[in-house]
Amino acid sequence: MKPQYKAVVIGASAGGLYAFKQIISVLPVDFFIPIIAVQHISPDSENYIITFLNNHSAITIKEADEKEKLKPGCVYFSAPNYHLLIEKDATLSLSTEQKVNYSRPSIDVMFETAADTFGKGVIGIILTGANQDGTAGIRAVKEAGGLTIVQDPTEAETPAMPKSAIEASAPDHIFSLDGIADFLLNLHQAHNKG
């Protein structure tokens, strides 16, 4: 019996704009589950990544709203200077609680709430970045029975974050950006075949 995935969570820091484009631009408009994403950004950012990715993707890209219900075929990005949490009823929540790993939004915070909510139904993906945010989060996803993927550090624009995630959690897969995109597309096709 194939796993029944409910959501994909993705975290990135330095170099994330290009990495997200490589993955998200190939996904179909009807991608079968929601994607929730954290990109480290400046607190006063205008969240340019939303506009940029919408110009390069078929799938809908948006900034997450408080109490928003997750839907397939949509990528939800954290708002600048807010943690993004996933509640038990699969809605999104924004928080201004203290920074985690010097970051708000924090990848760890989002991944840990995703693991709590979706358990083995979540796919956690760590991309390029210059710190250790995401390491505890990917470990939480793995411990909850979810699937874990980390970008190959040798091809990451900034390898520290993927390296840290690999050392801490022995992920299920280490892929290039193209490999991550292909993996998600294959899951989508398998889901549609039923």
Question: Could you say which of 13, 57, 78, 164 is catalytic?
Answer: 13
Is there a catalytic annotation at residue 93?
Answer: no
The whole-number average pLDDT for the span 111-117 is 98
The whole-number average pLDDT for the span 76-94 is 96
Determine if residue 15 is left, alpha or beta; phi over 0 gives left, psi from -120 to 50 gives alpha, anything else beta.
Answer: left
Q: Assess whether pLDDT exceeds 90 at residue 1.
A: no
Confidence of residue 47 (pLDDT cuts 50, 70, 90): confident
User: Which CATH number is 60's domain given?
Assistant: 3.40.50.180
Q: What is the pTM of this model?
A: 0.97
Confidence of residue 43 (pLDDT cuts 50, 70, 90): confident
Q: Is 39 inside any structural domain?
A: yes
Question: Could you say which of 40, 103, 108, 169 is catalytic?
Answer: 40
C-alpha span between 173 and 154 (Å, rounded): 14
Q: The tokens of 109 are what?
A: 């915070």
Q: Is 31 inside any structural domain?
A: yes
- The tally of domains found in the chain comes to 1
Q: Is 1 inside any structural domain?
A: no
Q: Is 61 inside any structural domain?
A: yes
Output the DSSP codes for 35-93: EEEEE---TT---HHHHHHHTS-SSEEEE--TTPBP-TTEEEEPPTT-EEEE-TTSBEE
Mean pLDDT for the chain overall: 95
Is there a catalytic annotation at residue 173?
Answer: no
The whole-number average pLDDT for the span 91-107 is 94
Is there a catalytic annotation at residue 108?
Answer: no
Question: Structural domain of residue 169, as residue ranges?
Answer: 7-193
Question: Could you say which of 103, 106, 133, 169 is catalytic?
Answer: 133
Q: What is the pLDDT of residue 167?
A: 95
